[in-house]
Amino acid sequence: MQKRSIYVLGSINIDLVVYAERFPENGETIFGKEFFINQGGKGANQAVASKKSGGNATFIGRVGTDIFANMAINSLKDFGVGHFVTKDENSQTGIALINVDNSGENRITIIEGANGKFGEDELNFLTSHLKKDDLLLLQGEIHIDKNLKATQIAKKVGAYVIFDPAPVKSEFTELISYVDYITPNEIELRTLTTSNDPYELLNKGAKNVILKLGEKGVRFINKETDFVVKSFKVEAIDTTGAGDTFNGSFATALSKGYEIEDALKFANAASAISVTRKGAAVSSPIYEEIIKFLEAHK
């Protein structure tokens, strides 16, 4: 039985994705191999990953009134994600331009659009629905003041906050002491602390640090413990959205009552599966796939 709901307050984009042998040099034009359009945005990606991995997920966000708006909303419906999405008449829907090379690495440019116009409507919805012991996922693609207000709403009702500080900004240090889990990669760690030492996040008030180490796995740190959960070896095709798949499925595991190490293994497995497929939200696995993968990789 699902015990805890998951709310994801964040960005929703339409991804315009190009696959090519390599990234072009400055001033160079090259031929690509493939192009497709799908739903993206770190918030929406995490909500989809959470839903597909077995979580009771609801996405809260904003789109414009352009041709991409209904495409973004209908994608959430197709994945079965509960959602509260407002339409901003003065904005365009967020866009991400994504280049992917032969090794699966990506380069991404984001136009925030309506994601930058978050207002009281979204926060009021969160206030009226978030309950004690629920989980709230936040990311760096909406403005910090809205994230701060969201953490205050969560703390008031006794909900737990997972914060993905990406795309990273130094100002996110203001959020560190308000969240229960912070999930930076090594680059984001250096921006937040000006060091390579994750214990600096604890010094800044972090309760639990989940340091993403790429192919090495993840390192979990708090005042009582420090351990690494290794990643699974797979052949990567496209790493776009892998971090979002990790966060969304980690929230699902916590909502199901998993102990922290098992929750991290579950999230690592989901992320490993996702990089063997193209796309962001579309690449995240369903619960049964994750369990089968874990059984096969004992």
Q: What gap in Å lies between CA 141 and CA 128, rounded to an integer?
A: 23
Contacts of 88 (CB under 8 A, 6+ apart): 62, 63, 64, 65, 114, 117
C-alpha of 273 from chain center = 16
d(CA 33, CA 101): 10
The 10 Å Cβ neighbour count of residue 189 is: 22
Q: Report how far residue 5's alpha carbon sits from residue 251's, in angstroms, rounded to the nearest whole number.
A: 9
Distance CA 227, CA 208 (A): 12
Q: Measured between alpha carbons, how far is 61 from 59 in angstroms, rounded to an integer?
A: 7
Whether 193 and 204 have beta carbons less than 8 Å apart is answered as: yes
Query: What single-letter amino acid sits at 242?
Result: A
88, 134, 180, 244: the catalytic one is 244
Say if residue 162 is exposed, middle or buried (CB neighbours under 10 Å; 0-12, 13-18, 19+): buried
d(CA 218, CA 265): 9
Alpha-carbon distance 109 to 236, whole Å? 21
Q: Judge whether 197 counts as a catalytic residue.
A: no
Residues in contact with 211: Cβ distance below 8 Å, sequence separation at least 6, in sequence order: 183, 184, 185, 186, 189, 198, 218, 219, 220, 221
Residues labelled catalytic: 244
